[in-house]
Amino acid sequence: MTKPAAIRRQDEVSLDLVVPVHDEEQVLPELIRTLETTFDDACRSRLGLRSVRCIFVDDGSRDRSVEVIQQQAPVGLGIRLLRLSRNFGHQAAVSAGLAHSDADLVAVLDADLQDPPATVCDMIEQWRHGYEVVYGQRRNREASPALRFLYAAFYRLFRWLSPIDVPVDAGDFCLLSRRVVDELDALPEAVRFPRGLRAWVGFPQAAVAYDRPARRAGQSSYGWRDLYNLATEGIASLSLRPLQVAQLLALVYGALSLLGLAAIWLDLFGAADAGTRIDVVIVLLLASNSIILFCIYILGAYLGRTYLEAKGRPSFIVYEDIAVRECAARHSDVAP
């Protein structure tokens, strides 16, 4: 990873907090209170923050999330509410927030308080040491053993398959400099995996370790299928190595077949009866079928992605972009 320039950044900066929101009405009041207390006047002057603004990206919530944000807009912080035209998914919501930010620094954090806002202060400190990307790296995670195991396995597999240096146990929680956000926004792909793209753009990057608590209220929107899709999306978006694995399998199986042919030609099975020979053939056929299906599965993952990219559709559509004053004006319109 590129080393940071040996500087200490002294300038006053603005900060945008990008928060993707999908059906989070139960946790939003606590999130808003936590953001208010974390980024109060004292904290802002200590960290050299000129302004702090929350960009809530409502990703097609079906509950009262939008109303809660409008009614309880954090005091002392700017607020922008970006409503997407439907549910486009967490990754698209993060991309929408980044594309609509304009501050010097942009932090991405989940609405459910699993990404502690106080850790953003440590990230800003790292940025002052010259880093352009500071990501949260989980020391501990409060989750079921099965989920913890799967997350740990995914990040290690992702790192192994990746052609670039991807940190393990690092999700979307991060702080990015304007320079990096501009580079990310300029990337053309429609199907986005922000944490992979964040590693891909490079620049000096640093980790801040944190403990990931359980979500404070409400339900996770991610089911097992979503997690599976996210994992394949992440791998297919960054690495061609699964295709190379498929090629390697084809070569290995081809070599084994030649050995089998040679064995038949040299009559190595001479002593074996016809039944044994048929069993060997059946096993070889089953193995070759499995390998072919596995390779088609891998090809399919890339083909599907190429199909989506070829269409050139945007990764999200904005329905409404509501700024602070409009929020205040809307208070009276909101149903109780």
Nearer to ligand UDP, 104 or 112 (CB): 112
Closest by CA position to 130, among listed 190, 191, 67, 204:
204
Closest by CA position to 65, among listed 28, 14, 113, 31:
28
Helix (H, G, I), strand (E, B) or coil at 198: helix
Nearer to ligand UDP, 94 or 298 (CB): 94
Rounded Cα–Cα distance for residues 189 and 166 (Å) = 19
**Matching residue, tokens 């989940």:** 110
- Let me know: does 276 contact 269? Beta carbons within 8 Å: yes
Asked if 315 interacts with ligand UDP (CB under 6 A), we say no
Closest by CA position to 104, among listed 26, 43, 177:
177
Q: Which stretch binds ligand UDP (CB under 6 A): 74-82, 104-112, 246-254, 289-297?
A: 104-112
* E strands, the chain, in order: 13-21, 49-58, 78-84, 105-108, 133-141, 174-177, 205-212, 318-322
Q: Which stretch binds ligand UDP (CB under 6 A): 86-94, 241-249, 265-273, 275-283?
A: 86-94
By CB under 6 A, name the one of 215, 234, 239, 298 that touches ligand UDP.
215
What six digits make up the tokens of 64?
């009262």
Nearer to ligand UDP, 95 or 237 (CB): 95
Count Cβ atoms below 10 Å from residue 240 Cβ, excluding itself: 11
Residue 220, C-beta contacts closer than 8 angstroms, at least 6 positions apart: 112
Nearer to ligand UDP, 224 or 297 (CB): 224
Residue 59's binding partner among ligand UDP, Mg ion, none (Cβ under 5 to 8 angstroms by kind) is ligand UDP
By CB under 6 A, name the one of 14, 71, 72, 87 that touches ligand UDP.
87
Number of residues near ligand UDP (by CB under 6 A) = 17
Q: Which stretch binds ligand UDP (CB under 6 A): 32-40, 160-168, 216-224, 259-267?
A: 216-224
How far is Cα of residue 116 from the mean position of the Cα atoms in its chain? 17
Residue 222's binding partner among ligand UDP, Mg ion, none (Cβ under 5 to 8 angstroms by kind) is ligand UDP
Pattern 2-41, ligand UDP, x by CB under 6 A: ------------------xxx-x-----------------
- Let me know: does 21 contact 61? Beta carbons within 8 Å: yes
Binding site for Mg ion (CB under 5 A): 110, 112, 114, 215
By CB under 6 A, name the one of 93, 98, 103, 120 that touches ligand UDP.
93
Asked if 232 interacts with ligand UDP (CB under 6 A), we say no
Count Cβ atoms below 10 Å from residue 314 Cβ, excluding itself: 12
Asked if 169 interacts with ligand UDP (CB under 6 A), we say no
Asked if 192 interacts with ligand UDP (CB under 6 A), we say no
Give the β-pairing of 78-84 and 174-177. unpaired
Residue 111's binding partner among ligand UDP, Mg ion, none (Cβ under 5 to 8 angstroms by kind) is ligand UDP
Question: In Å, how far are 88, 99, 189, 225, 298 from 306, measured between CA atoms?
Answer: 18, 23, 10, 21, 13
Handedness of CA 294, 159, 20, 23 (dihedral sign): positive
Nearer to ligand UDP, 251 or 317 (CB): 317
By CB under 6 A, name the one of 90, 138, 195, 198 that touches ligand UDP.
90
Asked if 117 interacts with ligand UDP (CB under 6 A), we say no
Binding residues for ligand UDP, rule: CB under 6 A, are 20-22, 24, 59, 87, 89-90, 93, 110-112, 114, 215, 220-222
